[in-house]
């Protein structure tokens, strides 16, 4: 209890309580009160996450943030940072005898995801509160549960709670899709449930096997990691456990060929649910691979990497080409999000600092950009009443701000520099070259493919003259983005641009806390000697080059 911080429980608890209040009492509340409760529920995690980000980047590892206040008698360390993590929180909530103490904390790998969950949650919340739906309070309440679970997943340092929060976030998604989903919502929800439950089951099996076989006899990530740290420690049948985790998490992330739930599910899902699922929940599996599977079973990736790399290439190339054939905006977005997962898998396959860092950056960036795209595509639908490319055209003339945002989000998705996605993709390519140059070349094809479908969508929706079918629709005034649509988009795109221009905001923390499993990767194996020789000669004073290195 000496170093407890209530920051993280608050980020998880407030949306949970708000959601509970809305679900139970929502219909009896005054509308303004319900709205206020929802606002609190969505704002608190987002602000907490941003605050955590700020504190993390201000204070390098190991420095206390508030000095122990007065004397030793009153140890009121409100915020504290241990070498491993920020805001540790540990409490036995009644399951301690099973080794299941609630343990929360953030490190450089989980912080970006925590921030992502907060931001996307806020954007989805604002958007949800500005759309009219049947039984809005229950709708908001379920969304708040998802946010709470997502914050919990990324904050928990205990495998049991990782899994618990994961299910906690997933189940409201099924309900949202089944109840508020568009046509085919029930069937899509069912397919999604079957796949995701299967994935969750496999990963639960893997986690349990890890618990029993590792010998650490604890679900605590930190102590498990400490146990597997010595090079001599090998987990019996680690190969199989890794396989379980890999495919369990893989199904959760729509690894090819277990992806078919994603496009149908997203097409049917209500927009905020699609934003949260595609943006945040889908990253659980990847995060699990990065934070749990690879570090706790060091060396086991080698046995699976080729299979995983081929499947991930299937995501990038095969699904990329399938995306090209889509004629429905929302289905296309669903496929494109499946496609981009391939890059992240490829980053993880390399098991290197560069690959893992690129993967985390890409997870962060993709979450934001896909959420923005789902939001804006719904905004397009609100104005055109169709998702079919063939019937669209010329929207730019009527809604210039919407089209500017959509173009920006599309370019973020296809990895234009200036948006965070670029750094992630580039990092993955650099790391992947070490793994296999040919695979890098094949994966890089995705860069062209995503440009083709992205720009094709933009040109069909926004450019050109309004299509004949639209003409009648457009004779009535079509409003440009309303504030309720504009602000979530600004939040998402702003975060993308910020990290795109200053990727160092995230990379330092990631570097600092990359587990030792991600061994160093030297840029060059060939000319290390040559380089040394050269750097000796260039060490001589150079009159031509002023030493100042300004920050451009």
Partner 1 sequence: MNLPMLLSLILLLPLGSAVVIALFLRKRGNLAALLSIMVGFTVMALSLYVILTSYNPARTVYPAGSPESSLPSAAMQNWLGMAGPVWAEASHHWLQFGDYVFAMGFHFNNLSALMLLVVSFVACWIQLFSAGYMADDEGKARFFGGLSIFMFSMLGIVLADNLVMLFVFWELVGFSSYMLIAHYYTTDFANMASKKAFIVNRIGDLGFLLGIVWCWDHYGTVRLSELENIIGYHPGLVAGGAATGIGLLLMCGFVGKSAQFPLQVWLTDAMAGPTPVSALIHAATMVAAGIYFLARVFFLLPPFTLHWIMWSGAAMTACAGLWALGQTDIKKTLAYSTLSHLGYMATAVGLGYPQLAMFHLAMHACFKATLFLGSGSVIHACHHEQDIYKMGGLRKKMPITAATFLLASLANCAVPFFSGAYSKDSIISAAYLKGHDEGLIYYGVYALVLFGALCTALYTCRLFAVVFLGKARSEEAEHAHESGASITIPLIVLGLLSLAAGWTVYDWKWAGGLMTGLIPSGCAQVFLGGFSALEHTLEEKGLGHGLEIINVIVVLAGLAASYAFYGRSAAAGDPLAAKSPGAFRVLERHGWFDDVYDWYVAQIQQHFCDVLAALDKLAIQFGGGQVCAGGLSGLAGALLRRATVGSIHAYVYWFLAGVCCYWFFAVR
Residues 459-498 that bind partner 1 (CB under 8 A): 459, 462-465
**Max Cα–Cα distance, the chain, nearest Å:** 78
Answer for which of 455, 469, 473, 490 binds partner 1 (CB under 8 A) is 455
Least gap, CB of 377 to partner 1 (angstroms): 19
Answer for which of 73, 74, 183, 522 binds partner 1 (CB under 8 A) is 522
Given a contact cutoff of 8 angstroms between Cβ atoms, the answer to whether 262 and 338 are in contact is yes
First-last CA distance in the chain: 45
* Euclidean distance between CA atoms 420 and 498, whole angstroms: 8
Q: Does 452 bind partner 1 (CB under 8 A)?
A: yes
Q: Which of residues 185-244 bind partner 1 (CB under 8 A)?
A: 190-191, 194-195, 198
Least gap, CB of 274 to partner 1 (angstroms): 18
The CA-atom distances, in angstroms, between 355 and each of 242, 252, 306 are 19, 21, 15
Q: Does 329 bind partner 1 (CB under 8 A)?
A: no
Residue 426: how many other CB atoms lie within 10 Å: 18
Q: Which is nearer to partner 1, 70 or 325 (CB)?
A: 325
* Euclidean distance between CA atoms 286 and 327, whole angstroms: 29
Backbone phi and psi for residue 372, each to the nearest 5 degrees, phi listed first? -60, -40
The DSSP string of 111-172 is: HHHHHHHHHHHHHHHHHHHTS--SSHHHHHHHHHHHHHHHHHHHHB-BHHHHHHHHHHHHHH
Given a contact cutoff of 8 angstroms between Cβ atoms, the answer to whether 265 and 177 are in contact is yes
Residue 89 pairs with which residues in a beta bridge? 104
Q: Which is nearer to partner 1, 13 or 184 (CB)?
A: 184
Residue 158 pairs with which residues in a beta bridge? 220
Q: Does 183 bind partner 1 (CB under 8 A)?
A: no
Least gap, CB of 525 to partner 1 (angstroms): 8
Q: Which of residues 398-437 bind partner 1 (CB under 8 A)?
A: 411, 416-418, 422-423, 426-427, 429-430, 433-434, 437
Q: Does 388 bind partner 1 (CB under 8 A)?
A: no
Q: Which is nearer to partner 1, 231 or 325 (CB)?
A: 325
| Helix, coil or strand: residue 477 | coil
Answer for which of 245, 294, 510, 517 binds partner 1 (CB under 8 A) is 510
Contact code string over 70-109 relative to partner 1, x by CB under 8 A: ----------------------------------------
- Region binding partner 1 by CB under 8 A among candidate stretches 84-92, 135-143, 208-216, 440-448: 440-448
Q: Which of residues 345-364 bind partner 1 (CB under 8 A)?
A: 352-354, 356-358
- Region binding partner 1 by CB under 8 A among candidate stretches 40-48, 225-233, 284-292, 438-446: 438-446
Q: Does 524 bind partner 1 (CB under 8 A)?
A: yes
Number of residues in contact with partner 1 under rule CB under 8 A = 89
Q: Which residue has the tokens 């199904």?
A: 251
* Euclidean distance between CA atoms 533 and 362, whole angstroms: 36
- Region binding partner 1 by CB under 8 A among candidate stretches 49-57, 178-186, 366-374, 526-534: 526-534
């Amino acid at each position: 209890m000496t170093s407890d911080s209530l920051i993280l429980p608050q980020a998880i608890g407030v949306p949970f309580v708000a959601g509970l209040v809305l679900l139970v009492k929502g219909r009896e509340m005054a509308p303004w009160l319900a709205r206020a409760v929802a606002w609190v529920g969505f704002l608190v995690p987002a602000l907490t996450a941003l605050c955590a980000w700020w504190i993390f980047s201000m204070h390098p590892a190991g420095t206390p943030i508030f000095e122990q206040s007065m004397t030793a008698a009153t140890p009121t360390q409100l915020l504290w940072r241990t070498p491993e993590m920020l805001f540790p929180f540990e409490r036995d909530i009644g399951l301690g005898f099973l080794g299941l103490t609630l343990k929360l904390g953030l490190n450089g790998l989980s912080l970006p995801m925590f921030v992502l969950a907060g931001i996307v949650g806020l954007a989805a919340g604002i958007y949800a509160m500005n759309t009219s739906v049947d039984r809005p309070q229950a709708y908001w309440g379920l969304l708040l549960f998802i946010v709470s679970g997502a914050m919990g997943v990324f904050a928990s340092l205990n495998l049991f709670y990782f899994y618990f929060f994961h299910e906690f976030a997933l189940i409201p998604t099924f309900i949202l899709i089944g109840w508020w989903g568009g046509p085919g919502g029930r069937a899509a929800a069912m397919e999604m449930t079957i796949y995701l439950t299967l994935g969750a089951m496999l990963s639960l099996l893997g986690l349990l096997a890890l618990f029993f076989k590792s010998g650490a006899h604890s679900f605590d990530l930190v102590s498990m990691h400490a146990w597997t740290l010595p090079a001599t420690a090998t987990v019996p049948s680690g190969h199989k456990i890794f396989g379980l985790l890999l495919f369990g998490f893989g199904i959760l992330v729509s690894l090819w060929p277990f992806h078919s739930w994603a496009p149908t599910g997203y097409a049917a899902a209500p927009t905020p649910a699609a934003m949260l699922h595609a943006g945040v929940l889908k990253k659980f599996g990847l995060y699990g691979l990065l934070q749990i599977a690879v570090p706790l079973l060091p060396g086991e990736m080698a046995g699976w990497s080729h299979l995983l790399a081929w499947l991930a290439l299937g995501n990038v190339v095969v699904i990329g080409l399938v995306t090209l054939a889509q004629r429905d905006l929302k289905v296309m977005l669903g496929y494109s999000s499946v496609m981009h997962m391939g890059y992240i898998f490829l980053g993880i396959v390399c098991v290197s600092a560069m690959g893992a860092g690129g993967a985390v950056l890409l997870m962060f960036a993709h979450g934001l950009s896909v959420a923005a795209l789902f939001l804006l595509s719904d905004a397009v639908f609100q104005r055109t009443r169709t998702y079919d490319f063939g019937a669209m055209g010329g929207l730019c003339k009527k809604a210039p701000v919407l089209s500017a945002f959509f173009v920006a989000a599309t370019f973020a998705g296809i990895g234009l520099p200036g948006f965070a996605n670029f750094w992630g993709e580039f990092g993955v390519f650099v790391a992947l070259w070490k793994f296999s140059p040919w695979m890098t070349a094949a994966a890089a094809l995705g860069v062209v493919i995503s440009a083709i479908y992205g720009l094709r969508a933009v040109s069909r929706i926004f450019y050109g003259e309004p299509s004949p079918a639209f003409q009648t629709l457009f004779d009535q005034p079509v409003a440009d983005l309303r504030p309720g649509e504009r602000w979530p988009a600004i939040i998402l795109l702003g975060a993308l641009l910020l990290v795109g221009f200053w990727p160092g905001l995230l990379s330092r923390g990631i570097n600092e806390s990359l587990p030792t499993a991600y061994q160093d990767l030297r840029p060059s194996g060939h000319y290390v000697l040559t380089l040394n020789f050269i750097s000796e000669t260039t060490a001589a004073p150079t009159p031509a080059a002023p030493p100042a290195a300004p920050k451009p």
